[in-house]
Amino acid sequence: MALDVSPEFNQKTGMGNLDGQNLEVEQKQIALETQKLSAWFGDHHVVKEISLSVEKNDVFALIGPSGCGKSTFIRCLNRLHEEGEGARVSGDVLIQGIGKSGGRENIYRSGVDPVSVRRRIGMVFQKPNPFPGLSIFENVASGLRLAQVVRRSVLEEVVETSLKQAALWDEVKDKLKKPGTSLSGGQQQRLCIARALAVRPQILLMDEPTSALDPISTARIEELVMKLRGEVTVMIVTHNMQQAARISSQTAFFLMGELVEVGPTNRIFTKPKESKTEQYITGRFG
Amino acid sequence: MNIKGRIAPGNLGDRTFGFILRFFSWATIALFLGMLVFLAQLSWEAIQTYGPKFWAGTDWNPPMEEFGAAPFIVGTLASSLIAVLIAAPVSVGTAVFLREIAPRQLSSFVAFLVELLAAIPSVVYGLWGVFVLAPVMRDQVQPFLAEWFGPETYFASALGHLATAFIYPFSLIGNLFGVWQISLSELSVKMMAIAHGLFDGPPLGLGLLTSGVVLAIMIIPTVTALSREVLMTVPDSVREGALGLGATRWEMIRIALLRTARAGLVGSVILGLGRAIGETMAVTMVIGNRNVIPNSLFEPAQTMASVIANEYNESDGLHLSSLAFVGLSLFLIALFVNLFARLLVRYLERGRYA
């Protein structure tokens, strides 16, 4: 469980978006830190030496125009980028509590199994992708099954909790045996969120999770993300600047594979330091 | 989705075109029915003489004017079953390899070769079967099989017990309705005899097993190509979903690829089965052509297709009519297999796309 901090602690620390002048900086834990992270597709350098850090149990948004490398960037954070043909990564990603000691560990250290990294970091994709051959129940349980959990009572409990967390339980509790793909697009995406949450990841990566959904489904997923704050570290890539402003406390602006600016969401949207950020958020390009 | 354009009544071009299309569509149906009628007509004498008992009759003796099709039905089903048992895992495995593991260039090159194999005429496979495969089967494979799985081996006993346990419930139902009176011990003795006889007898090279292997090799290209196509339709997003969840490559293949493509894979295997059931030339060349129900997979046998190919030339009267009846039965079996495949695929696919 990622719930090793008291609610009070979260209230004090999780609200960095108020004005960016949180004085309790020293109490914040860093869940994830990248150091000079670069990624390539063949010769195409799509992510250029990005260094940033993400606070634990915070919501961190990545914004930027299409093709700016933000999706590729978060796909490096669970070592999924390297699965593509001709894909390459360099640099370090330090994640809290991945290693055996529970300390920070570089997931790109040689000898680290990408599979074990992905089991600790959940991912939700742009297009809802429930497993078509599996029922709603089995979709949510799939991560647990991969982790060799077989006790029916445990599975049932976790599936229910996860579906409730994903605000889908009431809609599907009577048809858990139906195929996951029989749901609507928005429901499928929440099913995928439940599937990711079922294994209790420390970090949840979301790659434009609402871009294929209608406004009502989008709103539900945004609510969900806001509810997850304080329980799990969320990194969300989004095209939608209002969405970033609504749900995140920290925002990073990417352009052409480079990190232009990162800071508390409120400041990024009200007083950006870089002129490119300002131009983008005021809609002058992108 | 399904918008049917209406043919404008006034437009001559539209009307002519519509008429031509309709004509060809109906022509297909007419051809199908015509074949059925023709076969029924030709086999009428045999149908009148034997009726459904034709399928149960075990004797096929042209000089004595005795005709029963059971040996050929058994031969067709057994050789096709052997073919599918060998071909299904090989083909699906190859398709998974081409989709998931091989580098892209190797994958498309091998896929191309596989499709080339599908173009080889069956008579060539038959020649290869007679002159290359049969000696290997006779000298290497069959002695090996006889030693490990033949009579008086643990495998045969285990298989006999398993078959008894599997069929016993059905025999109870048979008893209940009085259509099949058999006791457990009788059933067990029968199953044991079949199991111990499976790999019995002298290794001849030509026979049921060899024809099954040739059929398997013939349908592997088709089934592989179809399975590869099916696997290609599984979206990358589903594969990534599994990887992102921490699946290993094998786990991803299992839960994302094979489960998603299950219906299509079953469909492609059954299409292969359909081809194996109807295959004539290669089978005729390697099966040994003996009109008896074989007790052993090493024995020569005869399929429905091969008996027609072998005997139609010198037949007349009831013999010819009986051959036509075999053809009609083959036609019906092929039809049934296709129908069954469609139902199965539909069942497996239910609720998949909402």
Spatial contact of A233 and A206, defined as CB atoms under 8 Å apart: no
Q: What's the one-letter identity of residue A118?
A: R
CATH superfamily of A7-13+29-127+205-281: P-loop containing nucleotide triphosphate hydrolases (3.40.50.300)
Closest chain A C-alpha to B115 CA, distance in angstroms: 25
Q: How many CB atoms lie within 10 A of CB B179?
A: 8
CATH number at residue B108: 1.10.3720.10
Partner residue facing A131 (CB), from B248, B256, B353: B256
Q: CA triplet A111, A115, A117: central angle to 5 degrees?
A: 75
Mean pLDDT, chain A cut into blocks of 10 residues (286 residues total) = 42 43 57 91 91 92 90 92 88 78 80 89 93 92 89 93 91 91 91 93 92 88 90 92 92 92 92 90 79
List of chain A residues whose C-beta atoms are within 8 Å of the C-beta of residue B238: 129, 131-132
Q: Is B29 on the interface with A (CB under 8 A)?
A: no
List of chain A residues whose C-beta atoms are within 8 Å of the C-beta of residue B245: 118-119, 122-123, 142-143, 146, 195-196, 199
Domain ranges of chain A: 7-13+29-127+205-281
Where do the DSSP E strands lie in A134-266? 203-207, 233-237, 250-255, 258-264
Closest chain A C-alpha to B230 CA, distance in angstroms: 14
Q: Is B101 on the interface with A (CB under 8 A)?
A: no
List of chain B residues whose C-beta atoms are within 8 Å of the C-beta of residue A147: 246
List of chain A residues whose C-beta atoms are within 8 Å of the C-beta of residue B354: 179, 181-184
A38: which 2 tokens? 């670069």
Residue B156 has pLDDT above 90, yes or no: yes
CA distances from A78 to A23, A63, A117, A127 (A): 31, 19, 6, 18
Q: Which residues, at least 6 apart from A40, have a Cβ–Cβ distance to it below 8 Å?
A: A46, A86, A87, A88, A89
What pLDDT score was predicted for residue B149? 92
List of chain A residues whose C-beta atoms are within 8 Å of the C-beta of residue B350: 179
pLDDT tens by residue, B3-32? 666 655 668 888 899 899 999 999 999 999
List of chain B residues whose C-beta atoms are within 8 Å of the C-beta of residue A192: 241
Q: Within a domain: residue B137?
A: yes
Our count of domains for chain B comes to 1
pLDDT tens by residue, A144-192? 999 888 889 999 999 999 999 888 999 999 999 998 888 999 999 999 9
CA distances from B323 to A70, B48, B152 (A): 70, 14, 39
What pLDDT score was predicted for residue B46? 93
What pLDDT score was predicted for residue A23? 46
Q: What's the one-letter identity of residue A151?
A: R
Secondary structure string (H, E, C) spanning B147-211 = HHHCCCCHHHHHHHHHHHHHHHHHHHHHHHHCCCCCCHHHHHHHHHHHHHHCCCCCCCCCCHHHH
Q: Within a domain: residue B353?
A: no
What are the phi and psi torsion angles at A226 (to 5°)?
-65, -35
pLDDT band at B128 (very low <50, low <70, confident <90, very high): very high
Q: Is A147 on the interface with B (CB under 8 A)?
A: yes
Cβ-defined contact of B244 to A122 (cutoff 8 Å): yes
Mean per-residue pLDDT of chain A: 85
Spatial contact of A50 and A259, defined as CB atoms under 8 Å apart: yes
Find the largest Cα–Cα distance for chain A. Answer: 56
Q: Is A107 on the interface with B (CB under 8 A)?
A: no
What are the phi and psi torsion angles at B350 (to 5°)?
-60, 135
- What is d(CA B32, CA A13) in angstroms, rounded to the nearest whole number? 76
What ipTM does the predicted assembly reach? 0.83
Beta bridge partners of A55: A30
**Segments forming the whole domain that contains residue B203:** 81-150+198-304
Q: Within a domain: residue B291?
A: yes
- Chain B residue with CA closest to A178: the answer is B351
